[in-house]
Structure 1
Amino acid sequence: MNEMYKERWNEICFLFSENVNKEISEGLFEKFIIQSLRVLEWKQSLNDFEIRPSFPIGSSNRISPDFLVKKDNQKLFVIEIKQPNIQLNSGFQKQLFSYMRQLKLEYGLLIGQAIQIFYDGNSNNQDDPVLLEIIKFEKDNERGIKFVKLFSKDSFTQEELKNFTVEAINKLNRKLDFKNITEKILSESFKPEIFNFIKQKFLCDYDGELLDNVLENIDIKILKKGDSDTDIFQNNNISVSRQDSKSGVINSILNSICAKPKSQEEILSELVHLFPNRSPDSMMNTIKAQLGGTNPLRMEKEKKIKIRVTYDENIRRYSVEEPAVKYDNQIIRDYIRKSYNLSVDEFSQYIADKYINDSYQKKIFLQKGVWLKIKLNYIAGLILSLRGNNVFTPKELRDIIRKEIIPSTSEMSDNQLSGILLTSDVHLNVKNSKWHNGYPCLKQMERGKYQFIGFNSK
């Protein structure tokens, strides 16, 4: 029996893929459709199908599908055809959908470069008919053979079509579930679940505080396999990296020369420590690309900063001449606009009014010299302090910013937000007061731990 369906399909393939010129007229193409229907045992002489039948719609309109297939005078499915040289598109699909809806038919076929099978019955939860299958005109195509079995007159049954439809919709739903699960795992909101899993894994052997400190100093990124060209640990279809993106390397170069002047070799030494899984040669190429060449340097153009180049015993060293806050401010501005639709000044006034009761502190907070990264660390530290959390980590500050101050920053990676906030720049004991522009708001208690102190008079 299957050999019969296979022969029928291959005859249809001969008509369409081997015997039809792509420049064929629609009238001649229609004749090949009629021949194909005959192959499927539908006979025009037995009134099995009508060509361009006309049906009244309302008082003055009519519709005329290309083919209407019937059995015992019961309408079964409608066919809309397009020449094979025309790409099947949504406009043609909507035309078919209109015929299906007006004639109250569950199934419709759109035939041109391929066969598209659409369904519009009770199992369809979409607004438009759902595409169940696309079948190319290829010899011995299993989908084509299945199509012949379903749509031949001598084997056509509603039950078989229903079983095919349920199976196809289940496949579509499974693909949708796969996509939804993948997006959930890849989302930033899922990252705490991973950290919690790691913590639970080691709790039997180490204390929780130590594990929290370890997790505070790493960043985990989950990627679909093939989505990154960086060096990563791969496990089947999911890859995990530790601060392992090119943007992370570039931001680390910037952070390094913000601290003090450094040569390219000194910068590379720090990067090797930060990114042990990346190629040193690749990172040196990135350093040379960012800091090499003529003025303005690439990093100056991309980060909107000014870099000072000095020579010490013929060794070229780089340092940031102007505060590297303009570029980071633009990123935060975008997220502020996304969360509140406010300018930075309007947002600063808003959070000052909401959180700061001390008029003196509020006045300083709103001064132009208090940079945005200082303000965000200030408000997050103030919130934690008011809640009785007198000593906290940078990650706790970032969590407050994500959850309460600028919710849209939850889209950012923790590493990116950390590089913008630079909590280590805004404490009282920082090495260079230029890093906070004379407005420290935190006090470092120990490595990685801070306390909120507010502003002193400048």
Structure 2
Amino acid sequence: MEKWNELCYILSENLPTNTSEQLFELKVVQAFEKLGWSEFNNEIAVRESIQLGASNRISPDLILKSQEKGNLFIVEVKKPSIEVDNSTFKGQLSSYMGIMRVDLGILIGNKIQVFLDGKFFNKNGIVLIDEIEFKRDIEKGLKFVQLFSKENYNKEDIENHAQEKIQQLKEIEDFKKLKTKMLSENYGEKIIEYLKSELQNEFDTKVIDKVFKVLQVKIESKKKIVSLDNYQKPKARKYKTFENINETSGKLPIGKYVRKTFNDLVESNLIDRNEIERLQRGDYSKLTFDIQFPFLAKENSPYYERIRYWKNPYQINGEIYFVCSQWYEVPANNDRPYYEEWLKKMKSK
């Protein structure tokens, strides 16, 4: 993780205000040299001019290459103050990749976007397989270092990673699509028709129709979509949560307040993927909520401790997370104003 944190320092934290694209390009070269690539050894070609036909030329910002395999991938650098989510930038990268017959391309600006040729997914053009913000101690950053370090670079590993990411995205989209379908009025009618056909073997049709006139059959979202009834956790002795319970204040205790309002945010789909990533960082959680542990943690996370997180997990975008239970509301340590400020920001998006 130290290597990724160093890249964050070079490409984001230590940049002057209004860094030019030319200066940022030098920083990107420096970052790839930290990953083991060498401009001196011609493994990083900067603005190499490539002839196209009799009169045309192209000059990709960076081409990473090896003596054995030639061109490996292209890096297009954009001014870090400009959002890289731009179809023009993607189109330019796609054009360079196609002309040079390179399957892999990277856009680097205010974040990193990794693209792979669509042929690997039976699609036209190039496909975004990963998007990484310059935030310290994130899993995506560690994965980027693993995949693009010179000593570890292997095209098959990147293709496998891409397939995993595409599958994850597909599962999320399928989940949303199926949920919407099952909550539709037409699907409810289909369920009723199915039940009637099942009951016809045992009851008269007139009786079945009369019963359904006085009954309501519907599918609806669970009020607590984050509770997983079948989730099993190891038994352990109980610990008290550190909440200041002031029944006379008229307010929910801070712990109950966090659980209730966070559940509302999840149910309303108001927390985007980038915020989910940030909530898993200790430094962000300390700065934002003044708590000592990451707001969210997966069970396999090095930050997860059973006594520090509530036992009921939350399911967000197909992933299981636990929410930190260490909230205080005393004069010397009051977390409520910090949380309410964050909550207001999430609701205003």
- With normalisation by structure 1, the TM-score equals 0.45
Distance 1:57 1:182, change over 3 A: farther
Residue number among 94, 99, 124 corresponding to 2:96 in the alignment: 99
Specify the alignment match of 1:177 in structure 2. 174
Q: Is the 8 A contact 2:77 2:109 kept in 1?
A: yes
Q: Is 1:147 the counterpart of 2:167 in the alignment?
A: no
Offset of residue 209 of structure 1: 2.0
Specify the alignment match of 1:49 in structure 2. 44
Offset of residue 52 of structure 1: 1.1
Q: Which amino acid aligns with 1:87?
A: E
How many residue pairs are counted as aligned between the two chains?
Answer: 224
Q: Is 1:20 the counterpart of 2:15 in the alignment?
A: yes
CA distance in 1, matches of 2:25, 2:64: 14
Q: Which amino acid aligns with 1:134?
A: E
Specify the alignment match of 1:291 in structure 2. none
CA distance in 2, matches of 1:145, 1:112: 18
Q: Structure 1: which 4+ aligned runs deviate by more than 6 Å?
A: none
Q: Is the 8 A contact 1:50 1:68 kept in 2?
A: yes
Specify the alignment match of 2:30 in structure 1. 35
Offset of residue 179 of structure 1: 3.3
CA distance in 2, matches of 1:133, 1:94: 17
Higher RCO structure (Cα 8 Å, ≥6 apart): 2
Distance 1:220 1:86, change over 3 A: farther
CA distance in 2, matches of 1:188, 1:21: 55
| Per-residue Cα deviation, 1:157-202 (whole angstroms, up to 9, x for no partner) | 1222222122122222223322332343234442332113443676
Specify the alignment match of 2:59 in structure 1. 64
Q: Is 1:76 the counterpart of 2:72 in the alignment?
A: yes
CA distance in 1, matches of 2:56, 2:215: 67
CA distance in 1, matches of 2:168, 2:52: 36
Residue number among 127, 131, 139 corresponding to 1:130 in the alignment: 127
Residue number among 3, 6, 12 corresponding to 1:8 in the alignment: 3
CA distance in 2, matches of 1:102, 1:186: 47
Q: Which amino acid aligns with 1:10?
A: N
Specify the alignment match of 1:120 in structure 2. 117
Q: Is the 8 A contact 2:36 2:150 kept in 1?
A: yes
Distance 1:209 1:21, change over 3 A: farther
CA distance in 2, matches of 1:66, 1:78: 8
CA distance in 1, matches of 2:16, 2:213: 66
Offset of residue 86 of structure 1: 0.5
For the residue of structure 1 that corresponds to 2:119, the secondary structure is coil
Offset of residue 61 of structure 1: 2.6
State how 1:54-453 maps to structure 2 within 5 Å: 54-72=49-67, 74-88=70-84, 89-120=86-117, 122-199=119-196, 206-216=203-213, 222=219, 225=221, 234=223, 236=225
Distance 1:185 1:60, change over 3 A: farther
Distance 1:24 1:187, change over 3 A: same
Specify the alignment match of 1:392 in structure 2. none
Distance 1:58 1:217, change over 3 A: farther
For the residue of structure 2 that corresponds to 1:16, the secondary structure is helix
Bigger share in helix: 1
Offset of residue 234 of structure 1: 4.5
Segments of 5+ residues of structure 1 without an aligned counterpart are 1-5, 226-232, 238-458
Q: Which amino acid aligns with 1:166?
A: Q
Structure 1 stretch displaced more, 34-43 or 117-126: 117-126
Specify the alignment match of 1:317 in structure 2. none
For the residue of structure 2 that corresponds to 1:86, the secondary structure is coil
| Per-residue Cα deviation, 1:110-163 (whole angstroms, up to 9, x for no partner) | 011111110105322222211111111111111111111100111111222222
CA distance in 2, matches of 1:131, 1:217: 51
Q: Is the 8 A contact 2:21 2:80 kept in 1?
A: no
CA distance in 2, matches of 1:122, 1:128: 8
Distance 1:56 1:191, change over 3 A: farther
Q: Is the 8 A contact 1:22 1:84 kept in 2?
A: no
Q: Which amino acid aligns with 1:15?
A: I
Specify the alignment match of 2:263 in structure 1. none
For the residue of structure 1 that corresponds to 2:63, the secondary structure is strand
CA distance in 2, matches of 1:57, 1:219: 69
Distance 1:29 1:219, change over 3 A: same
Q: Which amino acid aligns with 2:60?
A: P
What RMSD in Å do the two structures reach over aligned CA positions?
2.5
Q: Which amino acid aligns with 2:167?
A: N
- With normalisation by structure 2, the TM-score equals 0.58
Offset of residue 96 of structure 1: 1.0
Distance 1:34 1:236, change over 3 A: closer
Segments of 5+ residues of structure 2 without an aligned counterpart are 227-349
| Per-residue Cα deviation, 1:269-291 (whole angstroms, up to 9, x for no partner) | xxxxxxxxxxxxxxxxxxxxxxx
Q: Is the 8 A contact 2:118 2:124 kept in 1?
A: no
CA distance in 2, matches of 1:146, 1:220: 47
Q: Is the 8 A contact 1:117 1:131 kept in 2?
A: yes
